[in-house]
Amino acid sequence: MEVRGALRIAVAAARALEEEIVSGASADDVHKAADVLRDARPTAVSLPNAVNYVLHIVESHGSDDPAVGRALILGEVTAFISSLESSIAEAAAHGSSLVEDGDVILTICNSSTVVEALKLAKGRGRRFSVFACETRPRWQGHITARELSGAGVDVTLIVDSAAYHTLKTKGVSKVFVGADTVYADGSVVNKVGTSQVALAARSAGVPVYVLTESIKFYPYSMHGATVEIEERDGAEVSDIKGVGVFNPAFDVTSADNITSLVTEDGVCPPGEVRARMEEKFGWMM
């Protein structure tokens, strides 16, 4: 939990492998490091996607001269890391263009893409306000509230269970959430509580936008695979003796409850995710 946010996790993993390669590690050692990194957290698919892409680069540069091979690999890995970093800015720019004067936006957890989009909208002079769900049990909504407030955005914290009431009574016009993993059918894995917010939003007639870089697309979901939902220590929730705790960290929001996904390539209805996935992840399949 020192590195949070699905995109930051991907960048950190790619950087770790880059350091391995710089330090002269053998292909075998790079593969071992990749296994350790992939196992660090189970749910955000940006992590294995980034690791697998670096391995794909390593494997495609077998050279008779190891120094030449390493230089080529490093050049491509560094370019890949830059493209990950610019994808957040591009997705956020597309997200920010959805913000209109008078909007009341509800969000959950701490998505760097969502925060960046809202900061950009504020910077462009848009007048809007935000409700941030606290996001029990680790309170990442407080990070969002602090970041937005620091950027001059009018932000109000709510307890997670106040989401529906807030949607119905406070004129919420849009829901913005991040993503940890995107499935081919357009459904999205994100911080636990997101699916309830989206269900509530649908019932209240409020559109739901998922801001996500395409490194979070899960290509194996085209064949029906799903990711494991991380379950965290019960002590994060309660220490009542004799009482069990179920503490899933993520949940799945059905595509039916998502209006659009917003990636570095622009706005994409859930029904178009599969085609974009095929285009982006041919190298892996």
Q: Which stretch binds ligand RI2 (CB under 6 A): 63-71, 111-119, 220-228, 257-265?
A: 111-119
Structural tokens at position 245: 């705790």
Interaction between residue 6 and ligand RI2 (CB under 6 A): yes
Which helix (H) or strand (E) covers residue 108, if one does? strand 103-108
Interaction between residue 186 and ligand RI2 (CB under 6 A): no
154 catalytically annotated? no
Nearest-approach distance from CB 5 to ligand RI2, in angstroms: 3
Cβ proximity to ligand RI2, 54 vs 109, nearer residue: 109
Count the alpha carbons within 13 Å of 236 in the hemisphere toward its beta carbon.
14
Q: Which stretch binds ligand RI2 (CB under 6 A): 5-13, 16-24, 72-80, 157-165?
A: 5-13
Tell me how far apart the alpha carbons of residues 235 and 240 are, in angstroms, rounded to a whole number.
Answer: 9
Q: Which stretch binds ligand RI2 (CB under 6 A): 47-55, 65-73, 123-131, 176-184?
A: 176-184
Is 101 in a helix, a strand, or coil?
coil
Tell me how far apart the alpha carbons of residues 205 and 179 are, in angstroms, rounded to a whole number.
Answer: 21
Residue (of 271, 228, 227, 264) closest to 85 by Cα position: 264
Cβ proximity to ligand RI2, 166 vs 181, nearer residue: 181
Q: Per-residue DSSP letters for 213-249?
A: -GGGB-GGGGGT--PPPPB--GGGT---TT-----BS
CA angle 22, 28, 33 (to 5 degrees): 65
Choose which of 111, 214, 259, 260 interacts with ligand RI2 (CB under 6 A).
111
By DSSP bridging, strand 250-253 and strand 260-263 are unpaired
Choose which of 5, 141, 219, 270 interacts with ligand RI2 (CB under 6 A).
5
Interaction between residue 7 and ligand RI2 (CB under 6 A): yes
Choose which of 95, 178, 193, 219 interacts with ligand RI2 (CB under 6 A).
178
Interaction between residue 147 and ligand RI2 (CB under 6 A): no
109 catalytically annotated? yes
Q: Which stretch binds ligand RI2 (CB under 6 A): 12-20, 105-113, 252-260, 264-272?
A: 105-113
Its sign, for the CA torsion 24, 215, 107, 127, is: positive
Interaction between residue 96 and ligand RI2 (CB under 6 A): no
Neighbours of 281 (CB within 10 A): 19
Tell me how far apart the alpha carbons of residues 190 and 35 are, in angstroms, rounded to a whole number.
Answer: 23
Token match 């955000």: residue? 44
Q: What residues numbered 213-272 form the site for ligand RI2, per CB under 6 A?
A: 249
Interaction between residue 112 and ligand RI2 (CB under 6 A): yes
Nearest-approach distance from CB 202 to ligand RI2, in angstroms: 19
Active-site option among 103, 109, 133, 268? 109
Residue type, 178: G
Tell me the number of residues near ligand RI2 by CB under 6 A.
16
Active-site option among 64, 101, 103, 180? 180
Which positions touch ligand RI2 (CB under 6 A)?
Answer: 4-8, 109, 111-113, 140, 178-180, 190-191, 249
